[in-house]
Amino acid sequence: MNVIELDRVTIAIGARNVLAEASFAIQRGEFIGVLGPNGAGKTTLMRAILGLIPPNAGALRVFGRPPRRGDAAIGYLPQVRTVLPDMRVCGFDFIASSVNGDRWGVPWITRADRKMIDAMLAAVGGRDLAKRPLAEMSGGERQRLLLAQALFGEPRLLLLDEPLIGLDYRYQEAVIDLVRRFARERGITVLVSAHEINQLIGALDRVLYLGNVHAALGTVAEVVTAPVLSRLYGADINVVHANGQIFVLSRGRNVEHADHLHDEDHDHNHRHERHRHA
């Protein structure tokens, strides 16, 4: 079954196309790495899948129907995590507050919810975050909390937008392994955007590369090639394999590194977005 289907989808923001006539399908249980330069549309695509941005043309289907806002079957980790609603709230209440789509009030949760929150916090190695206020967590700890929130509620689809930013190398691997295992066991479909393909390479089923209003979905061998990436980057790209890693180079420069130097600035576009899409 296709969990996500695009049939000649065009998405514009303002007067500019971010995607033009993109067609591809993602199947149930796939782990997809979403890559591409800054501004390629990774976040925009996830927001369209959440029903937050309607396509301008074509058909976008999620679970076989047009996306609906606040679909509880989708767990979402937004890219912007610097501005959180209430920094005094503790980790447990933060997750609990998303249970009924009620972010501000005192949440009413069942015993089962409570157990699941504990389990999700344990899954991300964040049991001790339950009682601590957000204000006193490090960036990486907050990130794990948000991941626990995205995993909460038995999602069938996970959209994780740059979950590795701000995590040190050790945690990057742990987070990807965790998500991979969690999703495998439950048949969850996962889209994870990242700066660099090497961060995801061990976990991927297929990659979705975005760039230049185009999308290419396929195995690493099919997509991460000089001709495909040259088209998506609009530049002469070389792909070099070395030490089990892949380097995407333009005139000897690693474009994946260069492209993301200004990530934090770019994020301000989305800073008012709700942390939970409900």
Ligand X SMILES: Nc1ncnc2c1ncn2[C@@H]1O[C@H](COP(=O)(O)OP(=O)(O)OP(=O)(O)O)[C@@H](O)[C@H]1O
Cα dihedral 242, 248, 251, 256 in deg (nearest 10):
-130
- The Cα–Cα gap between 58 and 6 comes to 8
Strand 157-160 to 74-77 pairing = parallel
Tokens of 72: 């509880």
Q: Which does 39 bind (CB under 5 to 8 A by kind): Mg ion, ligand X, none?
A: ligand X
What values do phi and psi take at 34, rounded to 5?
A: -105, 115
Q: Which does 172 bind (CB under 5 to 8 A by kind): ligand X, Mg ion, none?
A: none
Q: Name the minimum Å distance from CB 76 to Mg ion.
A: 13
Residue 244 sits in the site that holds ligand X (CB under 6 A)? no
Applying CB under 5 A, the span of 43-51, 101-109, 238-246, 254-262 interacting with Mg ion comes to: 43-51
Residue 199 sits in the site that holds ligand X (CB under 6 A)? no
Residues of this chain, 31-50, that bind ligand X according to CB under 6 A: 36, 38-44
Residue 79 sits in the site that holds Mg ion (CB under 5 A)? yes
Of 63 and 209, which CB lies nearer to ligand X in the complex structure? 209
- The Cα–Cα gap between 75 and 154 comes to 8
Applying CB under 5 A, the span of 21-29, 78-86, 93-101, 131-139 interacting with Mg ion comes to: 78-86
- The Cα–Cα gap between 45 and 146 comes to 20
Of 42 and 123, which CB lies nearer to ligand X in the complex structure? 42
Going residue by residue from 79 to 118, which x/- string records binding to ligand X, judged by CB under 6 A? x---------------------------------------
Q: Name the minimum Å distance from CB 19 to Mg ion.
A: 13
- The Cα–Cα gap between 180 and 205 comes to 10
Of 54 and 64, which CB lies nearer to ligand X in the complex structure? 54
Residue 195 sits in the site that holds Mg ion (CB under 5 A)? no
Residue 189 sits in the site that holds Mg ion (CB under 5 A)? no
What is residue 198's DSSP assignment?
G
Summarize as ranges the residues that interact with Mg ion (CB under 5 A).
Answer: 42-43, 79
